[in-house]
Amino acid sequence: MNITRLVPRPMRLIGAVAGTLVVASLVSGGVATSSAAYYPRATLDYTQTLTRTPTVAMQGRCIERSIDLRQGTYRWETYLYGASDVGALVQRYIVLDAGTYRWHTCITPYNGKYNVDTFLQKKGSGMAFQLAVAQMSGSGTVQATWGSALFKVCCE
């Protein structure tokens, strides 16, 4: 049985155009910019109010997710951003195999600073770890975002 006879001609045209766009999108590997393919940013972060005078007695917080990654080189960032005088950013490039990873990030208060640490672990493999330290100054509170981001920068 020929299914195209059962579908009206306008619907066949719309289906053909949509199918072509899906295939073109899959072949291109992402949304194209004027000069290069765009690789999306994956984030694991949290926004909360932090005191500018943390102590070791205060409770920290952790967040976690599972993420499927393609093989390649990634820029991995660990950060804490707040007001203009609050911030920490650590970044490095890391080569990862394709697979599902456990992605875990924590903020831990110490006397006058916060540590933001993150790790990636592929099931059955070793762990990659990164730490950012943010010194705090002044008094009061600040709305801050802390966490980790991955940007795919190269290759498969």
Rounded to an integer, what distance in angstroms lies between the CA atom of residue 77 and that of residue 75? 7
Q: What is the pLDDT of residues 24-78, one digit of tens each?
A: 322 333 322 222 334 578 999 999 999 989 999 999 999 999 999 999 999 999 9
- Whether the predicted pLDDT of 9 surpasses 60: no
For the chain, what percent of residues have pLDDT higher than 90? Answer: 40
Rounded to an integer, what distance in angstroms lies between the CA atom of residue 26 and that of residue 28? 6
Question: Can you say whether the dihedral through the CA atoms of 12, 17, 21, 26 is positive or negative?
Answer: positive
Rg (CA), the chain: 22
Please state the rounded mean pLDDT for residues 92-108: 92
Q: Among 59, 26, 48, 39, which Cα is nearest to 149's?
A: 39
Show me where the domains of the chain are located: 1-38, 41-154
Please report the pLDDT score of residue 124 as a whole number.
81
Confidence (pTM): 0.69
Q: Among 119, 120, 132, which Cα is nearest to 82's?
A: 132
147 has which bridge partners?
Answer: 45, 79
**Per the structure block, which two tokens stand in for 88?**
């920490």
